[in-house]
Every structure is written in C-alpha cells, then in structure tokens.
C-alpha cells in the first residue's frame, strides 16, 4: 500500500514544481530560462513548463524573421535614397548597404529555414523602407515606387562605388 502513496506524493511534487516554474517565468524570466534548459538537459521533461517553452520558441522564430525584415528595410531604404538623390550620396550609405548585405548573409547562414520566406520579408519591409527613405530625403512618398523596384540580384550584388559619391568640399 505504501507504493501508491509515493506515486501521489511524486505527482504532487512534480505538479508543485511545474507551478513554481510558471511563477518563475512570470517573476524572473532569466532564471526561468536557465532552469528550463537544465530540466531539458537532464531529461526531466515532466517538469518542463511546456506551454511557456513552446511560446518562447515561437517568439524566437518571429524574432529571427523580424531581424531579416529589419535588415532588408535598412538595405532597401539606402538603395532608394541612393537612386533618388544622387547629389546627396555619402560614403556612409555605401557602408550601410555593405553592412546590411553582410547581416542578411549571416541571418540566412544561421537560419537557412528563413530562405523560403525572403520574398515575404521583403514585401513586409518595403513599405517601411519607402517611408524611411521619404522621411530622410524629405521627398513625398509618391516619389518612390509603391512596390519594391529591385530584383534580388540588385539587392544583394549591385555595386555601389565611391566614384558615385559627391565630392565634399573642405
């Protein structure tokens, strides 16, 4: 008869620990993350806060997609400015384009599962890139194409050179 009582105690303890995990999630996210990683590594799946872990994993995937969108937004914004105002070109635009291209490559190298979503990311990023370019150039938004005018080859490989930059007077 002692055996069933031990099972009940173990279930209660496990249930209590899961409740504690949820409280830690709400109160101390960092410690909760460390605890969940430890539980997973030790194979104590019954003690893992599965709902919150799943939620955090989904949020992480959204964050990775958001990084891709952000990178494309900045890259395309600089390309729009470059094309729209050649008289205002600066080396910093070239540096920014190069940096965003490197970030794009790093994002896809680290998360190749995003590759099927690059067109979606660009479609989501373009309206903001257009608005930013409009704000920074002080040109009306309708001076910029309503749809992204660049093919992927342009976005990723089109050369931008310093010979095109307006020479600054000392």
Contact 114, 121 (CB under 8 A): yes
What residue ranges do the domains of the chain occupy? 1-48, 60-170
**Closest by CA position to 96, among listed 33, 45, 42, 165:** 165
Whole-angstrom distance, CA of residue 141 vs CA of residue 153: 24
Whole-angstrom distance, CA of residue 62 vs CA of residue 110: 14
CB neighbours of residue 133 within 10 Å = 23
What is residue 139's predicted lDDT score, i.e. its pLDDT? 96
H-assigned helices in 85-139: 91-110, 118-137
What is residue 116's predicted lDDT score, i.e. its pLDDT? 97
What is residue 170's predicted lDDT score, i.e. its pLDDT? 46
What is residue 5's predicted lDDT score, i.e. its pLDDT? 54
Q: With a threshold of 0.95, does the pTM exceed it?
A: no
What is residue 169's predicted lDDT score, i.e. its pLDDT? 46
What is residue 3's predicted lDDT score, i.e. its pLDDT? 57
pLDDT, averaged per 10 consecutive residues of the chain (170 residues), comes to: 52 54 75 90 92 91 96 98 94 96 97 97 98 96 97 96 66
């Amino acid at each position: 008869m002692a055996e069933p009582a031990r099972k009940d105690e173990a279930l209660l303890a496990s249930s209590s620990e899961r409740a504690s995990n949820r409280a830690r999630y709400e109160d101390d996210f960092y410690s909760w993350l460390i605890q969940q990683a430890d539980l997973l590594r030790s194979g104590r799946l019954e003690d893992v806060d599965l709902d919150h872990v799943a939620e955090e994993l989904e949020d992480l995937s959204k964050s990775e997609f958001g990084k891709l969108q952000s990178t494309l937004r900045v890259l395309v914004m600089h390309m729009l400015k470059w094309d729209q105002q050649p008289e205002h070109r600066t080396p910093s635009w070239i540096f920014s384009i190069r940096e965003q291209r490197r970030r794009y490559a790093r994002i896809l190298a680290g998360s190749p599962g995003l590759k099927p979503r690059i067109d979606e990311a660009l479609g989501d990023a373009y309206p903001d890139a257009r608005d930013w370019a409009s704000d920074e150039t002080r040109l009306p938004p309708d001076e910029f194409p309503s749809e992204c005018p660049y093919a992927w080859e342009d976005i990723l490989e089109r050369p931008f050179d310093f010979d095109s930059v307006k020479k600054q007077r000392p």
